[in-house]
Amino acid sequence: MARKVEPQQRLREFEHIVFTGRTGDGGREIDFETFRRQCFAGIPDTPASVRDACWKILLNYTPWADRASWPSSLTTLRSTYYSYVRDLSDPPLSPPDSPTTTTLEDPNAALLQQIYSDVRRTLPDMAFFQLPVPAQWGSRSPLFPVPPTNSDATVSPSSSTTSLPTLTPPTDTRASYPDIPNPFLLYARIAHLYAAEVPPVDLPGTPLHSTSSSSSPPTTESATTTAPHTHADSLLRILYLFARLNPGVGYVQGMNEVLAPLYYVSAHGADAGAFCGYYCIMFT
């Protein structure tokens, strides 16, 4: 008869295997294939950091054999992602007279509209994607507003009482990454495109609904928002950046459904982690 393992005991064993590469009982070293088989049998749901770490390892963007490099490599990957956001969220070229001329003048207009239409329909039965991202993310990511002082503490990625390593670098703050003058410019572009529709298209539940509906194209200075940034907004940004960086692949309907579960698993680490994981899935 197979030995029954209590959930908490299994969680502790998984934490030791993931973050040290060894079992928790005798310190026996575990190879990657054994780890992969254990993941296939089921990964504990909580804390979120364990499942997130397992997916990162299985997708091969955190190396199984070199845990010491995890914090620095993840910081580098996040920095690269934020640079993409800064460089590719450009405003449209000129004010539109109609949706047709908008598409011609802004070659990425059709891409934005297609992704936005699909993201709005992503897993509609899950309220998660319409929820605002946690205020604490602003202390670590330049994509979100700086949180109030009393919320500035970074949430621990694990509720475990062990002193195991984590995937969050100790110096991982927004000051570690490139500055993004206006992270909402991408959403202002979409609002600008839909402003030409008759009747105007309602854009609820995202920063889009608080951007100006003026026919003038948004600029880095004018595209501002006070609306909550939702998880669905992050899906749109990831899919748009991936399509811009990989025009040979681009975007096709259904990619949002591929990204959604990956984002959900890595959501406690903001969308940079989901972008890297999605990249690995698409090119593996």
Residue-level pLDDT, tens digit, the chain, 284 residues: 455 567 777 788 888 888 888 877 657 888 999 999 988 888 887 777 788 888 889 988 888 888 888 888 888 888 999 999 988 876 655 544 444 444 445 678 888 889 998 998 898 888 888 888 887 777 788 888 777 765 444 443 333 333 444 454 445 677 888 888 777 778 877 777 766 554 444 444 444 444 444 444 444 444 444 556 888 889 999 999 999 999 999 999 999 999 998 898 876 556 888 999 999 999 87
Residue 250 confidence (pLDDT): 93
pTM metric for this prediction: 0.78
Do 283 and 88 touch, CB atoms closer than 8 A?
no
Residue 195 confidence (pLDDT): 65
Residue 283 confidence (pLDDT): 87
Q: What are the domain boundaries of the chain?
A: 7-58, 68-282
